[in-house]
Amino acid sequence: MVALNLVNRLNKRKQASDQVSELTINRLSVYLRCLNELDVAGTQTISSQALAEQFRLNAAQIRKDLACFGEFGVRGVGYYIKELRRDLRQILGLDRHLRVVIMGAGNLGLALADYPGFRQEGFEIAALFDAANEKIGHESRGGVPIYDIKALKRLARRERLDIAVIAVPAPHAQPVVDVVVVAGIKAILNFSPGALKVPGDVKLKSVDLTVSLESLSFYLARGKETRG
């Protein structure tokens, strides 16, 4: 019965996963972060309402997002935290070890290499790559080695590399992305401003840090209007 439920849920999950939006996926990550905290604190179960209240989320949205992937939670009990955490990790593909390389060993690349959140969720930062001779052969404070960018293709042939993070200055971003694509890496997280081109079978996600600052700016401007 439990096994059948799981099969049903996984089938449902498979069908659903093609239609869910990137925003839903982002929210699943946020839910997972909350469940991690609750799990560490020793909490066993939680209702969507309590989860929403504790982490300033939306209970209806939580239920709707989870419904894309099957049936979770038990009426009158809520979610079993360890179980939902395991399911979310599986949905997000975090149940297998993902190997990440960071292109660019400047301040941003070094900061990302040692960012504690990545390791916590099972991402392994396998290496940094740079073109500057004085950096090659050294490592980040956390011990991630810095290789010559020319060695990326060779490393990618020898070991599985899942995701490349682009942390180079804007003028170098497209050439570096081209190197990553040639090396056969199919997922790219870009921190460089400006548009980048990738082939259709490569997933590119850009993080624009300015967007976050601007939404604070909007809030400050609105606050002024309301007060004055």
- Residues at the site binding its own copies, with contacts judged by CB under 8 A: 14, 17-18, 22-23, 25-26, 28-30, 32-33, 37, 55, 91-94, 96, 98, 100, 106-108, 110-112, 114-118, 120-121, 123, 141, 162-163, 165, 169-170, 186-189, 193-195, 203, 205, 207-226
CA-nearest of 173, 171, 162 to 99 is 162
- How far is CA 99 from its chain centroid? 12
CB of 22 to its own copies, least distance (A): 6
Q: C-alpha distances in angstroms, 4 versus 8, 84, 85?
A: 6, 17, 20
Residue 18 or 134 with smaller CB distance to its own copies: 18
